[in-house]
Amino acid sequence: MSDALPSFRTPAEQAAYAAVLDDLAGRDRGEEAVIVFREPTDPDAAVTADAMIRAGSVSNDQYARLLAAADRLYAPPPITRAVAFDAFGTLVYIGCKRHPFERLIRQARDRAQALPSPMVQPIGLADYAVALGLPHPDAELVMLDEELATIAPYSDTLDALRRVREMGVRVAVASNLALPYAAPLKALLGDLVDVWHFSFDASVIKPDRAFYAGLTTRLECEASELLMVGDTWRDDIVGAVEAGSRARWVDREGHASHARRFIAVRELGDAYPYHQRAAQMTELELLRSGIDANLDHLHAQRWAVRAGLLRQIFRDAPDAQKVAAKCALDDHYDTRGQPETSRVALMRDAIETITTR
């Protein structure tokens, strides 16, 4: 986002934002917290900032999470070994929605509440009707066929999946859905997907952490190595972040609130790899991107300047201080091939530059 100014949908949201900003500014490390809150490009920071704005207040846990996000500014970009996509609303859509399962549930609501949801058990529509004690669902089966026949990928879906796989990153489809909807998905996307993780197989639905734990187990990656891409904030974004993963929110209509827009994408191709144009980036993102792109060169410059200073100190040191000065010089030489020692300092300088303005 080149425009760091907040964008609000309602006066109430603006008032809550101002209240949170005042609270953060008066706290220890408040300047860092304010930067992360104003421009929450870290997914966990976006989830936290969004929750704070909705509440109009800051809890101690939320503040700790903001500071943790601030600390991550000094770390190198995370490694992504797998990208998981939600299905409906993200990769595909239903052209003719008829909601046959919901229709059965409305006919036997009490019985449905006593049974496991069709989203957490591998059961077809006809068998679910039997379990509910209903007659054979002829009308609902017709509705289901109409839905399944109109499932189609978004125009950017196939290309986005191919791009991820071409980069050597595993692809998963991770979705809350009932058994009949799986086959059309596999028919449309099968060759481009490594792992299918559906709620009816996992016996649990997003945003439950157990869903994401099962997903990372099947992908053979750590939670921190997973990027979740989806269109449902609670299930796909909050759920993934709470499970220790990262996330991108698919907001095809561009209706994101202030905090959410920093991790929102309108096209799947922008979700991973997440390359923003300079005009879309915040000032801190531009500085961080520049540091990462030129880190070896910047490190060599900083290292050489520091080495020259330490050599001068060693030459000028009295005999009693020679040993300590030599140790300091030797220690510095040990960092010659460690650009990350400079990255932290460079990021700290960048943050200080922004906060002093």
Q: In what order do the strands lie in the sheet with 246-250?
A: 195-198, 170-175, 82-85, 226-230, 246-250, 264-265
Q: Residue 247, SS3?
A: strand
How far is residue 296 from each of residues 273, 284, 291, 308, measured CA to CA in Å?
A: 22, 19, 9, 18
Torsion on CA atoms 159, 165, 169, 173, rounded to nearest 10: 70
pLDDT at residue 355, as a whole number: 72
pLDDT at residue 2, as a whole number: 37
Q: Is the dihedral of CA 260, 261, 266, 268 positive or negative?
A: negative
> What DSSP assignment string belongs to 49-89?
HHHHHHHTS--HHHHHHHHHHHHHTTSPPPP--EEEE-SBT
CATH 3.40.50.1000 fits 82-91+154-250, yes or no: yes
pLDDT at residue 290, as a whole number: 85
Helices (H) and strands (E) in the chain, counts: 17, 8
- Give the tokens for residue 272: 């991973």
Euclidean distance between CA atoms 81 and 132, whole angstroms: 42
- Give the tokens for residue 261: 């827009």
* 111 Cβ contact partners less than 8 Å away, ≥ 6 residues apart: 132, 133
pLDDT at residue 100, as a whole number: 98
* Residues 250 and 87 sit within 8 Å (Cβ to Cβ): no
Domain ranges of the chain: 11-72, 82-91+154-250, 96-149, 294-355
pLDDT at residue 357, as a whole number: 66
pLDDT at residue 5, as a whole number: 55
- What are the pLDDT tens digits along the chain (357 aa)? 334 456 787 889 899 999 999 999 999 989 889 989 998 999 999 999 999 999 999 999 999 999 999 988 888 888 999 999 999 999 999 999 999 999 999 999 999 999 999 999 999 999 999 999 999 999 999 999 999 999 999 999 999 999 999 999 999 999 999 999 999 999 999 999 999 999 999 999 999 999 999 999 999 999 999 999 999 999 999 999 999 999 999 999 988 888 999 999 999 999 987 555 555 667 777 788 788 888 888 888 888 999 899 999 999 999 989 899 999 999 989 998 888 888 888 888 888 887 776
- Give the tokens for residue 140: 């609902």
* 306 Cβ contact partners less than 8 Å away, ≥ 6 residues apart: 332
